[in-house]
Chains A and B, each alone.
Chain A
Amino acid sequence: MGLRKGLTILTLCLAFVLVMAACTKDNNAEPTPNTQTPASNNDASGSGGTDSRLEALGLDANLRFKETRKITVEIYDRGNDGGTPPEDNFYTDYIKEGLLRDHNIEVEFVPVPRWTEVEVINNLLAANQAPDISVTYSYPTIQAYANMGGVLDLNPYLEEYKDLLPDLWDLLTDSNIYWNQDPHTGTIWAIEARLAVLNRINTFVREDWLQKLGLEAPTTLQEFEDMLIAFRDNASLLLGDEADKMIPFSTSFDIGWRADHLLTSFVPNDITDKDIYVYGFDDRHFLLPNYKEGVRVLNKWYNEGLIWKDFSLYPAGDPTEDNLMKAGYVGAFIHNWDYPYRNGEDSIHANLQRLVGPDAAFVAVEPFPNDAGVYKKFLSGPIDRKIFFPATNDEPLASLLYLNWISKLENRLFLQFGEEGVTHEKLEDGSYKTLAATGEKIMNSPANIDYTLTINGLDLGDPDLTVKSIANGYAGVDKRYVEIAHRITTNQGRIGKNVNVGEIKSEAGQGQALKEKRDAILNRAVVAPPDQFDQIYDSGMEDYLRSGGQAIIDERRAAWEAVYGDKTMLD
């Protein structure tokens, strides 16, 4: 009897709790329309009206809020081994203390995993829980939520508060702040952080193998190919017992990135800005004219045994290919401009020297001139992360003051280099040298790029010092390698320009699907038997165009012509 009673009570309680949970469930999902609009600007226009204007904004003369404001800020979590929590460490304390001191703003950081950032920020936006200052590399994500009314238009706020944000303007300039302004409606859904260094990718080859085989660094496609063949044919000399592990050229499923310099060297030198824009939807340059001929070269190499056979099987982030490089089986590859030298003790360079010997090293080379003999590199514009405020942000001014504070030279230099004597030292020439930090002063990413939201990369205000400091930043790597890599990666580059013709509707929601398709086409074309290459590439491209690619090209062309008319080049 007692048991039965007990059970009954328990059941009733549980049921009650569940019902209550159901009742409260939906309340949070109620939309909170943003009715807030910037305070009227009239006060500021009159002379001597500044104080009363600040008063109205709740600020004192030093731009300190009279009442503490609270904002949340997104921060990338890179899941670093042995690192500190990205939302709570020495550097976040520096920011929190600084903002509380200077502006009376309380800051809370919200970690978002770096490698799934788009998915996570999507979820946060959909749940109306996105941080007040949000950031993503995906502009289409912002555009999609803006169309649903989920993003704050920054234009009125930027105009209203411009005079309060001098450091933000100094760093980003009009160019990055107005980069995304819609030409028709004037809205600004996001401002672009500054990409301080345009370095993108490089081609690397094993310097010690070149020496062993008496070869010069290749300067043409033919020389590069001959070099790969020499690697393959001399596998026993270069690798001894492990000759069967020889990989002359290694790449990954992301062919578009991992062969970019080779592939884009086939694009005509005189391609216009208009064509770059019209065919530039894909960030891997997949649609640019003559790209296919570059892929044909890879196909030839693959069928001649010059390319790693298993390249397409490993997913993003899999360490297998890196391990092959570290073990010394790889002769050449194309990757991020400083790829072999990154990650200190665990870099490819450091491992190679430990496992193979002190002479073993990858060096950057420049072997792919285009039809005009130019080593052209397609570089992005000076833009990086896109910073936006979700519609749930009810502290736009405090958020903008945060961005201004983080853009101030002394603040960002502290975040990029840390404490003198602990995480960096100043060399005689005035450049910074990064020191390996321990404990809580380890940075979560090189130069703390996650905390310097408005800038990615070093900018010391002096280009010469900046380059020297960059080269100093690779512990245990001979400066020479970094300097070569730094010089080559942007040599004869063509910097992307801002084509701002408004929203292209056919791009909505297509990004991921077309990206998957592009990768599949490139992978299949590379491994195709040579006599089927054309058929596989062409049918893949046809499918790509019919699945939305052509619609984007057409809409982009029409939008360009509507704004720029007959012009094919921008100033």
Chain B
Amino acid sequence: MNKTMNYLRRYWVLYVMLILPLAFFIIFRYIPMGYIQIAFKKYSIVQSPWEMAWADHNGFEYFIQAFSNRDFLYALRNTLMLNFLDLLFGFPAPIILALILNELAFKRFKRFTQTVVYLPHFLSWVIIAGMALQLFAPTSGLVNIMLQRMGFEPIPFLNDPVYWVITYVLLGIWQSVGWNTIIYLAAIAGINPELYEAASVDGAGRFRKIWHVTLPGLRPTIIVLLILSLGQILSSEFDRPYALSNKLVTDVSNVISIFVYNYGIRGLQFSLSTAVGLFQSVVCVIFLFAANALAKKTGERGIW
């Protein structure tokens, strides 16, 4: 008892300081959860969520509606496809870039390169979409004008679904690769230099050192970031597909967030869009847990 009192007397300030973040989470993260019930109720503007009538089918009317809606299924497919491609190509890119940057001997050039590659992170997707139009439009885009001058056919970067997906993924890598590299470079900086020296003594070359020292050193970081990315597999950005999209590629570019925007905000189906949002979150949480469990099974620490 005395021990506890002593402890509290010493550290009470820390607990008081915790109030602020706790209040933040309670007010802005937990209280709004009460509104999740909109997904199970018939939305009415003049009633509070507690008073609204339950939806049909034991409250699951809007989930059934979503899953029987073709546009939702397309959006689900597109979200999974684009996120999977992002993961496949976008996830390794910063690791590779970090390894390359780490090997650069000329320090000033390394810093310069690093700055150049992380600057796009600060551009909004609306700006990037505008730049993409200037560069990649079939007749007036700079790249296609140059291709045509050199005697090639213009490439439909933005107006053919397959090329659009490629452009989408590449632009995503371009925008974020430098920024994501920072964390890997930090991890590399934390690797014990003695390991490299030891490897040199053993006669390891540059690639051997990368393979046997740097990469294993990066492994925990990679795993944690991979788990976090897997937790995002079904969440969908809005700005990026919306800004880059056009009417010729809606078959592949309409993702869940755009579906929610069109049906929910513009179509006033608040219950439907809440249901879709809830579904999205639940799947993401499942993925997060699964990835974490898998990581632990393979002997990694996971994220908790």
If A310-B139, A516-B250, A520-B251 touch, whether A144 touches B268 (CB-CB below 8 Å) is yes
Contact at B133–A22, with CB atoms within 8 Å? no
Pick the contact of B48 from A31, A33, A517 — CB < 8 Å? A31
**Chain B residue nearest in CB terms to A511:** B267
Docked complex Cα distance between A239 and B16 (Å): 75
If A7-B17, A314-B133 touch, whether A118 touches B246 (CB-CB below 8 Å) is no
Which residues from chain A contact B13 at a C-beta distance below 8 Å?
4, 7-8
Convert A3-39 into 0s and 1s, putting 1 for each residue whose CB lies closer than 8 angstroms to a CB of B: 0100110011011001101100110011101000000
Docked complex Cα distance between A126 and B138 (Å): 43
Pick the contact of A253 from B246, B263, B268, B269 — CB < 8 Å? B246
Which residues from chain A contact B262 at a C-beta distance below 8 Å?
512-513, 516
Contact at B267–A11, with CB atoms within 8 Å? no
Q: Which A residues from 513 to 529 make CB contacts under 8 A with B?
A: 513, 516-517, 519-520, 522-524, 527
Is B44 interfacial (CB 8 A cutoff)?
Answer: yes
Pick the contact of B23 from A15, A308, A314, A547 — CB < 8 Å? A15
Is B140 interfacial (CB 8 A cutoff)?
Answer: yes
Convert B126-139 into 0s and 1s, putting 1 for each residue whose CB lies closer than 8 angstroms to a CB of A: 00000001000111
Contact at B266–A119, with CB atoms within 8 Å? yes
Chain A proximity of B31: nearest CB distance (Å): 7
**Chain A residue nearest in CB terms to B249:** A520
**Chain B residue nearest in CB terms to A149:** B46
Is A396 interfacial (CB 8 A cutoff)?
Answer: no
Is B159 interfacial (CB 8 A cutoff)?
Answer: yes
Contact at A11–B268, with CB atoms within 8 Å? no
Contact at A309–B70, with CB atoms within 8 Å? no
**Chain A residue nearest in CB terms to B49:** A29
Of the candidates A21, A148, A253, A517, the one having the most CB atoms from chain B within 10 angstroms of its own CB is A148
Is A546 interfacial (CB 8 A cutoff)?
Answer: yes
Of the candidates B23, B45, B139, B250, the one having the most CB atoms from chain A within 10 angstroms of its own CB is B45
Q: Which B residues from 36 to 79 make CB contacts under 8 A with A?
A: 43-48, 69-71
Which residues from chain B contact A29 at a C-beta distance below 8 Å?
48
Docked complex Cα distance between A469 and B6 (Å): 89
Pick the contact of B71 from A149, A313, A513, A522 — CB < 8 Å? A513
Pick the contact of A519 from B45, B247, B254 — CB < 8 Å? B247
Pick the contact of A11 from B16, B133, B159, B248 — CB < 8 Å? B16
Docked complex Cα distance between A19 and B31 (Å): 12
Is B304 interfacial (CB 8 A cutoff)?
Answer: no
Contact at A30–B48, with CB atoms within 8 Å? yes
Contact at A512–B248, with CB atoms within 8 Å? no
Contact at B19–A12, with CB atoms within 8 Å? yes
Is A205 interfacial (CB 8 A cutoff)?
Answer: no
Docked complex Cα distance between A520 and B250 (Å): 7
Which residues from chain B contact A253 at a C-beta distance below 8 Å?
246-247
Is A312 interfacial (CB 8 A cutoff)?
Answer: yes
Chain B proximity of A198: nearest CB distance (Å): 28
Is A145 interfacial (CB 8 A cutoff)?
Answer: yes
Which residues from chain A contact B272 at a C-beta distance below 8 Å?
509
Contact at A19–B43, with CB atoms within 8 Å? no
Is A259 interfacial (CB 8 A cutoff)?
Answer: no
Q: Which B residues from 165 to 199 make CB contacts under 8 A with A?
A: none
Chain A proximity of B19: nearest CB distance (Å): 4
Which residues from chain B contact A269 at a C-beta distance below 8 Å?
none
Contact at B44–A148, with CB atoms within 8 Å? yes
Docked complex Cα distance between A253 and B245 (Å): 12
Convert B254-281 into 0s and 1s, putting 1 for each residue whose CB lies closer than 8 angstroms to a CB of A: 1000000011011111101000000000
Docked complex Cα distance between A42 and B139 (Å): 72
If A314-B133, A527-B248 touch, whether A148 touches B71 (CB-CB below 8 Å) is no
Which residues from chain A contact B254 at a C-beta distance below 8 Å?
516
Contact at B46–A512, with CB atoms within 8 Å? no
Chain A proximity of B25: nearest CB distance (Å): 11
Q: Which A residues from 393 to 425 make CB contacts under 8 A with B?
A: none
Is B158 interfacial (CB 8 A cutoff)?
Answer: yes
Contact at B46–A33, with CB atoms within 8 Å? yes
Contact at A527–B46, with CB atoms within 8 Å? no
Which residues from chain B contact A516 at a C-beta distance below 8 Å?
250, 254, 262
Docked complex Cα distance between A96 and B267 (Å): 35
Chain B proximity of A281: nearest CB distance (Å): 14
Docked complex Cα distance between A18 and B22 (Å): 11
Contact at A149–B70, with CB atoms within 8 Å? no
Is B207 interfacial (CB 8 A cutoff)?
Answer: no
Is B286 interfacial (CB 8 A cutoff)?
Answer: no
Which residues from chain B contact A543 at a C-beta distance below 8 Å?
70
Convert A30-72 into 0s and 1s, putting 1 for each residue whose CB lies closer than 8 angstroms to a CB of B: 1101000000000000000000000000000000000000000
Contact at A22–B70, with CB atoms within 8 Å? no
Residues of A at the B interface (CB closer than 8 Å) are: 4, 7-8, 11-12, 14-15, 18-19, 21-22, 25-26, 29-31, 33, 118-119, 122, 125-126, 128, 140-141, 144-145, 148-150, 253, 308-310, 312-315, 320, 391, 508-513, 516-517, 519-520, 522-524, 527, 543, 546-547
Chain A to chain B: the 3 pairs with minimum beta-carbon distance, closest first: A509-B267, A523-B247, A512-B266
Residues of B at the A interface (CB closer than 8 Å) are: 13, 16-17, 19-20, 23-24, 26-27, 31, 43-48, 69-71, 133, 137-140, 158-159, 246-248, 250-251, 254, 262-263, 265-270, 272
